[in-house]
Chain A
Amino acid sequence: MSDITKQSLSELVKNIKDKKLSSEEVTKAFIDRSEKSKELNAYITEDYSSALEKAKKFDQKPNLNLKLPGIPMAVKDLFCTKNILTTAGSKILNNFVPSYESTVTQNIWNEGAILLGKLNCDEFAMGSSNETSFFGNVQNPIDKNLVPGGSSGGSASAVAGQLTPITIGTDTGGSIRQPASFTGTVGLKPTYGSCSRYGIVAFASSLDQAGPMAQNVKDCALLQEIISSYDPKDSTSIDFKRNEYSKELTNNIKGKKIGIPKEYRVDGMPKEIEELWQKGIKYAKDCGAEIIDISLPNTSYALPTYYIVAPAEASSNLARYDGVKYGFRAKGENLIDMYEKTRSEGFGAEVQRRIMIGTYVLSSGYYDAYYLKAQKVRKLIKNDFDEAYNKVDAILTPSTPSSAFKIGEKKDDPVSMYLNDIFTVPVNLAGLPGISIPAGHDAKGYPLGLQIIGKAFDEQNILNIAYAMEEKINFKNKITDWWIK
C-alpha cells in the first residue's frame, strides 16, 4: 500500500471506517515516508514508536464513530503536548516538557487522532520563511532550497510532502496562510476566539489563532470543526454556535457577494499575481458569485500597525523566559546577569529584535506615539472591514505578493521579509477568518494562493466559497519527491 500517503484525510477516514485499512497500516505508511524525508527537516521531535503503539491499540478496539479514527498526524511545535518536548523552535525551550496538553490538540486526540511528532516552525512563530528556527531551515517539497514560508513552515512542508495527512498551525500575521500558499496547500486562520489559545506558546495574544492545514478544503473544514471549541481556560475564547463545517459544506455559492479591494493592488506586485487574482475573480463569477469592487482605504497602514502591536505583545509574553522555572539557563555572576545572558543566548536574532521593538514602543515617553497610535489605526482598519461587509459577504485577494523565495534570499533584510505578510496581516488585526487555497503556478512552476476573507464567525461561508472555487481551479500540486533518495 505505497499510495496510502497520497490519500486525502477524507479517503483515509473512509478506508479505516470501511476496514480496508487499519490505523497501524496508515500510521506505518506516514512514518516510513517521514523517515525517508529527513532532508525536509520538517520535524523537530519524532514520536514514531509511541504512535505505532497507539495505532495498534486503536486497531484492537477501534471506535469508528470518531471523526479522526486512528488517523496519524503531526502538529506544529508551538502546541503544548503533555510529556512530549515542546520547543516553539527556540533554544530557550529546547528541554521543555509540558505537564499539560493544549485544548486544540486535546480536541484532536479526543476524536481518535494519533500524534506522529512535532513540526518545525520559526522561533516563537516569528518569521515568514522558517529560517528563524533554532532547529534549522525547512525545505519546501516544491523545490530544493526553497523556503516553505512561515512561521508554520514545517507544518506546510509536512502536508505538501505527504508526511502527515493534515496538520495544525498558528497564524498571528499570516503564519498559516502564507506557508499554505507557498506549498500549494489549504490553510485556514479562524476568527479570533474560535480556537482556544490555552496551551499554545504565546506570541501576540490579541492576534494569535490556531487553524487547520490540509490538502483540500473539505479536510480543512473537518479539522476546523474539531479544533474549534469554547474553552473557559482561554478568557478570550468566544461562546458561539459552531457549525459542523464539513457536513454543511456546499459548493452552491450562487448570489454570494464577493468584494475585490482595490488597495490590494500594491506597487511592484508581480504580473502573475495580478493575473492569478483576475483568474480567481473569473472562477468566482463562474460559480455564480457576484463581484463587487470595494475599498479598504487603510490597508497600507496594516503592516506598520502590526509591527508595533505584535512586538509589544511579544515583549510582554516573552518576559516569562528567565531561566528560572523551565527552559535554558546561562551561567551568570548574579541573578540579573543570569537573566540577561540566558535571554541573550537563548533567543535568536529575530526574537531579540522583536522584543527590543516591543520594549521600546511600550517604554515611558514612547507609548502614546507608537502603541496607542497603532491601536487607533487598528480600529480604523477594523472599521474598513465593517464598512465593506455592509456590501459584501466575503473578500477575495491574493494570499501573498510573490511565490516562495530561496532560502537566504531575504534573511538579512527584516523589512523585505515583513512585506510577505502584506495581504494576510489586516485579517489578524481585524480578528477575521481567512483561508488560502492554491490557485495556480508562476513561471517557475511554484504554487500561488488566493485568500478569501470572511465576516467574523462566518467560517462556513468562506469554506463554501473556497470549496466551490477549488472545484473550478482544479489545482494539481507538482511534487517530484526530489528529496527521497
Chain B
Amino acid sequence: MSIDLKTIKHISKLSRISVDEQKAYKLANDLNSIFKFIEKLNELKTDNIEPLTSIAETTLKLRPDEVKSKDIREQIIKNSPQDNEDYFVVPKVIE
C-alpha cells in the first residue's frame, strides 16, 4: 500500500491541519515508511481474537452530578486568545 498526495490532502482536511505541497510530499514519505513498518501486523492471523478495548477491566463508577469548581469563569476566559465579556470570540461564521 502506498499513501499518495491525494490521501495526504484528505487526511489533512480531516485533521484540520493545513499542508502545502512541500509538506504534503514530506508527510507522504514519512507515512509510507511508518506504514511499511506497521504492516508487519498482517503476518498475524487474528480472526478469532477479541480486541482489547480497555486495559483496566473495571466498570465505570457512578457519582453524584455536583458542581465542584466554582467561580473560575474569569480564569477560564483569561486563557482564550480572544474574548468579549463572557464569550469566546471566533471569526465570523454567519454571512
Contact = CB atoms under 8 A, between A and B. Distances in A.
B84 to A, nearest CB: 13
Chain B contact residues, majority secondary structure: loop
A372 B50 CA distance: 10
B25 interface: no
A344 B72 CA distance: 30
Interface string B79-95: 11110000010111100
A359 B81 contact: no
A376 B50 contact: yes
Interface in A182-240: 192-193, 206, 232, 235-236, 238
Q: How large is the interface on A (under 10, 10 to 19, 20 to 34, 35 or more residues)?
A: 35 or more
A304 B49 contact: no
Nearest to A298: B44
Contacts of B6: none
B63 A232 contact: yes
A97 interface: yes
7 closest Cβ pairs, A-B complex: A375-B51, A431-B55, A329-B81, A326-B79, A99-B75, A340-B18, A376-B46
Q: How large is the interface on B (under 10, 10 to 19, 20 to 34, 35 or more residues)?
A: 35 or more
B43 to A, nearest CB: 8
B30 A414 contact: yes
Interface in A220-267: 232, 235-236, 238
Contact of B52 (A236, A307, A322, A379): A379
B37 A335 contact: no
B12 A380 contact: no
B76 A99 contact: yes
6 contacts: A235-B60, A324-B80, A343-B15, A370-B38, A373-B42, A379-B52
A354 to B, nearest CB: 9
Interface in B38-62: 38-44, 46, 49-56, 58, 60-61
Contacts of B88: 324-325
A301 B44 contact: yes
Chain A contact residues, majority secondary structure: helix
A344 to B, nearest CB: 4
A363 interface: yes
Contacts of B8: 356
Given A334-B92, A380-B49, 7 more contacts: A235-B61, A300-B40, A359-B14, A363-B11, A376-B51, A377-B49, A380-B44
Nearest to B69: A100
Contacts of A370: 38
A6 interface: no
B12 to A, nearest CB: 7
A48 interface: no
Interface string A293-334: 000001011011101100000010001001111111100111
B2 to A, nearest CB: 13
A356 B90 contact: no
A303 B41 CA distance: 10
Given A325-B79, A372-B51, A415 B34 contact: yes
A374 interface: yes
Given A193-B56, A236-B56, A338-B90, A304 B79 contact: no
B5 interface: no
Given A301-B40, A304-B40, A376-B51, A353 B56 contact: no
A300 B88 CA distance: 48
Nearest to B89: A324
Interface string A332-349: 111111111101100100
